[in-house]
Amino acid sequence: MAKTLPTKFLDANILRSIADAELRARLLVQGMYASRHRCPYYGYSVEFVDHREYTNGDEPRTIDWKMYARTDRYYVKRFEMESNMNVLCMFDVSGSMAYRSADKSRLTKIEYGSYLIAAVCHLVAHQQDSPGLVTFDQDVRDFIPPRQGKRHLFTILSRFETLVGKSGTQIHAVLRTIAQRFKKRGIVMMLSDCNTDEDQVMDGIRLLRAQGHDVILMHLLDADEIEFPFSALTAFRDMETGKQIISDPIRLRKAYLDRFAKFRTRIQTDCISAGVDYRFISTKDPIELVLRDYLQYRRERSR
């Protein structure tokens, strides 16, 4: 019997919405294969950089004969190499990411993130770059290093089908581990609800930025966490610690929304100051629009 390909989270509508998009590096990357990203080394490419004097051993075909005609000296052309790019997607699969709203038609944060990251990995592989995946909670649960190839993409996609949210979150410790294991500069896209201390989140992100990575934070929250729509006396249970309290949400709503606004603003402000791309996402937002708008923003900014 033929095996079923792991494409459950490759939604056709999402892929169509980003069919003409691409994810470009904002930095100089170091890769092995020809692609569309600037490399810190020089070689053969279509983009001219500058001249240098000819030395013994240089190939004669690199000599600029027009420069020789003007200066009576030999110069060779230098071109900027293009390189493939590593894109490491970090996916928070802690307990809070498994929250399910009373609205059963809405995806959990883990389901939403699986569709979004699956589409990003497909896009990266399609443009001949190298996607990778890290899932984490208190520690790294899966580490699939960036590679090229359809088989590798299927390995990543198959992982989404077995993800279950559990345990607490230790983003700072996880980011330190990734900083030690992911040395080659590239894009690190983290999708999380950041349900932990803001200082720890930003300390880990700044560490990745200090290593030269292009960091993207997709801050994903359920619409209930953003709007706090509860009205009746409700029992609230922390999905990471199991602690439970019973309270009147109408009385607490203003205080909750004020604290939430400060929490979100703090992370967004710190990301901007650290040179990190920040995107705030609700599970009510259509995934295809979220991805298309972000990729278009990134393309326009690079221009």
Q: Is 41 helix (H, G, I), strand (E, B) or coil?
A: strand
**Class at the top of the CATH hierarchy for domain 12-23+85-302:** alpha beta
- Residue 239: which H helix or E strand, with range? none
pLDDT tens, residue by residue, 180-204: 999 888 999 999 999 988 898 999 9
CA 68 to chain centre: 47
pLDDT tens, residue by residue, 229-255: 999 898 888 888 888 999 899 999 999
Q: What is the pLDDT of residue 69?
A: 87
CB 41 within 8 A of CB 101: no
Six-digit token string for 294: 């972000």
CB 130 within 8 A of CB 185: no
- Domain(s) of CATH 3.40.50.410: residues in the chain: 12-23+85-302
Comparing 14 with 40, which gets the higher pLDDT?
A: 14
Six-digit token string for 268: 């967004």
Six-digit token string for 35: 């692609």
CB 23 within 8 A of CB 37: no
Q: What is the pLDDT of residue 53?
A: 78
pTM of the entire structure? 0.81
Beta strands in 182-271 (DSSP E): 187-192, 214-221, 234-237, 244-247
pLDDT tens, residue by residue, 47-99: 555 677 777 767 787 788 888 888 888 888 765 444 578 999 999 999 999 99
With a cut of 50, say whether residue 6 has pLDDT above it: yes
State the Cα angle at 297 between 296 and 298, rounded to 5°: 90
